Structure 1
Amino acid sequence: MTDAVLSSPPAKASPFHELKVLWVKHWTDQLFSFAVERPEDFRFRSGEFVMIGLPGEDGGKPVLRAYSVASPNWAEELEFFSIKVPDGPLTSRLQKIVAGDTVLMGKKPTGTLVLDALTGGERLWLIGTGTGLAPWLSVARDPDTYARFSQVIVCHTVRGVADLAYRDFFEHGIHDDPLIGDEAKAQLRYYPTVTREDFVTPGRITDRITSGAAFADLDIEPGFRADRDRVMLCGSMAMIKQTAELLDGFGLKEGSNAEPGDYVLERAFVG
């Protein structure tokens, strides 16, 4: 009798990338951004989200949350924009990361906040609240955005002026982007609003749309038209639902990856 040679079963591939943190920027005591190295085989469409997390404590399961990729699809690093929740299962720990640390990232990006989910139009509205700005940082730096739309309007609503993270970037920095700087200077408009402090454009974006103030501020024809306007929504559930109802009232149709339409929202973030 000969001894049977027993081979170990192949190790199961991990569903996560383990990625080094490249930098961290704290905007306020409630907001921060960070970037990680990009795996060579990682491909995504601008506007998609991916699962980000940290290993579980004391050997527990990893803690993961969905995060929109704030980098454009051509970038060499992957950037993310996050809130800080003191008692949050993930962000209470994630906000403490520093360059050189390791975070987990899922291997399968997905989402509907992509150009493929919209039909053709003239004007693209990117409407977000809080960290719902993240996908617009990606879409607004994608050359395809400016090839498909003659005008791009980034709307960002926050509570306080200090919460307008990336304000300087949208007002100035994006114009120096080597890939889309000239297009952004000619075609991009940035429209911030603040709800709880004095500001040149105060209030919720939904209220300013309803009153017509947003259109007046931007010096464009009031209202949305299905033959011209395309809209993406990301942020608070209340804003998304209210704005979607407004768009429905103007005759715009919700789109998806399977059936492109006039506006899209990310249902992964909507209850």
Structure 2
Amino acid sequence: MVDKARYTTETISDWHAWTPKLFSFRTTRPDGFHFVPGQFVRLGVEKADGTQVWRPYSMVSAPRHDYLEFYSIVVPHGEFTTELARLGGGDKVMVNKVPLGFLTLDRFEGGGELWMLSTGTGLAPFISMLYEADAWRRFEKLVLVHCVRESVELAYRNVIPTLASDAGVPELAGRLVYVPVVTREALPGVLGHRVTRLIEGGELEAHVGLDFDLERSRVMICGNPEMVDDTHALLKTRGFALSKRAAPGQIAVEQYW
């Protein structure tokens, strides 16, 4: 049981099913809740027996929004998502008062291009960043890679083209390169292999028209833990290093646990 002083109880205000297993939802925003795009917060649900289950979720919404938005997948037999998927508008979730995480733009110094590599619901923090003008103004190119199994899982694909305007910088819309990747369908013009394979073979760089460059490239990775670890290890062989407060590098990843 989490101390009640550490969380608020919020109301689900909107619910959207992308597929039978993928959904996003909005909640009321706690008074005084502040976060940096890319951060996450722990959400809690109460089970029928009165016990609580908590899991970390990145914010999809921007700090300026008057709601919080989250993107989730139903994990088969998952203790948390099974309960969460039963909820809907008007239902309650618990939101920890303190946001956490290091997948934020202040991890980096310099750089001309920002690569945002995601799988599945790992897209969430990058949408939050692109809702804000900072990323658009800071980098000359923004490469958003979203890798899924089937095309129906390309959530937010209709929102992504509007993000520059939403951020108040429509004139910078051309800086974004959106790269959908679908591994279990063959689609014209769409890459079809896992992120690591696309990097290993040079296909991703060729498709985007940019190279992973130590001086110019800054890389954020979020999604399946195996993909995060493998992509980090692959880029490390090219000389890329994890960015730390005391030693700025070129890579930022999220560790939820």
TM range (shorter): over 0.9
Please say if 1:237 is aligned against 2:228.
no
Deviation track 1:146-196 (CA, whole Å, cap 9, x = no partner) reads 2221111110001111111111222x332441524332x121110011111
CA shift, 1:109, in A, is 0.4
Q: 2:244 aligns with which of 256, 264, 269?
A: 256
CA shift, 1:27, in A, is 0.4
Q: 2:29 aligns with which of 29, 38, 51?
A: 38
Q: Judge conservation of contact 1:141–1:180 (CA < 8 Å) in 2.
A: no
- CA radius of gyration, larger in: 1
Q: Quick one: distance in 2 between partners of 1:175 and 1:116?
A: 20
CA shift, 1:55, in A, is 1.9
Q: 2:148 aligns with which of 151, 158, 172?
A: 158
Q: Judge conservation of contact 1:52–1:106 (CA < 8 Å) in 2.
A: yes
Report the residue type matching 1:80 in the other structure. Answer: F
Q: Quick one: distance in 2 between partners of 1:180 and 1:57?
A: 46
CA shift, 1:257, in A, is 4.6
Q: 1:181 aligns with which of 170, 179, 187?
A: 170
Q: Quick one: distance in 2 between partners of 1:158 and 1:143?
A: 27
Q: 1:24 aligns with which of 15, 26, 37?
A: 15
Q: Which shifted more, 252-261 or 158-167?
A: 252-261
What is the percentage of aligned positions where both structures have the same residue? Answer: 36
Q: 1:55 aligns with which of 43, 46, 49?
A: 46
Aligned length: 253
Q: 1:180 to 1:71 in 2, by over 3 A?
A: farther
Matched with 2:136 is 146
SS for the counterpart of 1:144 is: helix
Report the residue type matching 1:139 in the other structure. Answer: M
Q: Judge conservation of contact 1:254–1:261 (CA < 8 Å) in 2.
A: yes
Question: Within 5 Å, which residues of 2 pair with 1:43-192?
Answer: 43-60=34-51, 62-170=52-160, 172-177=161-166, 179-183=168-172, 185-192=173-180
Q: 1:215 to 1:104 in 2, by over 3 A?
A: same
Q: Judge conservation of contact 1:112–1:257 (CA < 8 Å) in 2.
A: no
Q: Quick one: distance in 1 between partners of 2:22 and 2:154?
A: 10
Matched with 1:4 is none
Q: Quick one: distance in 2 between partners of 1:267 and 1:175?
A: 28
SS for the counterpart of 2:16 is: strand
Q: Quick one: distance in 1 between partners of 2:231 and 2:106?
A: 21
Matched with 1:7 is none
Q: Quick one: distance in 1 between partners of 2:228 and 2:44?
A: 25
TM-score w.r.t. the length of structure 1 is 0.88
Please say if 1:227 is aligned against 2:215.
yes
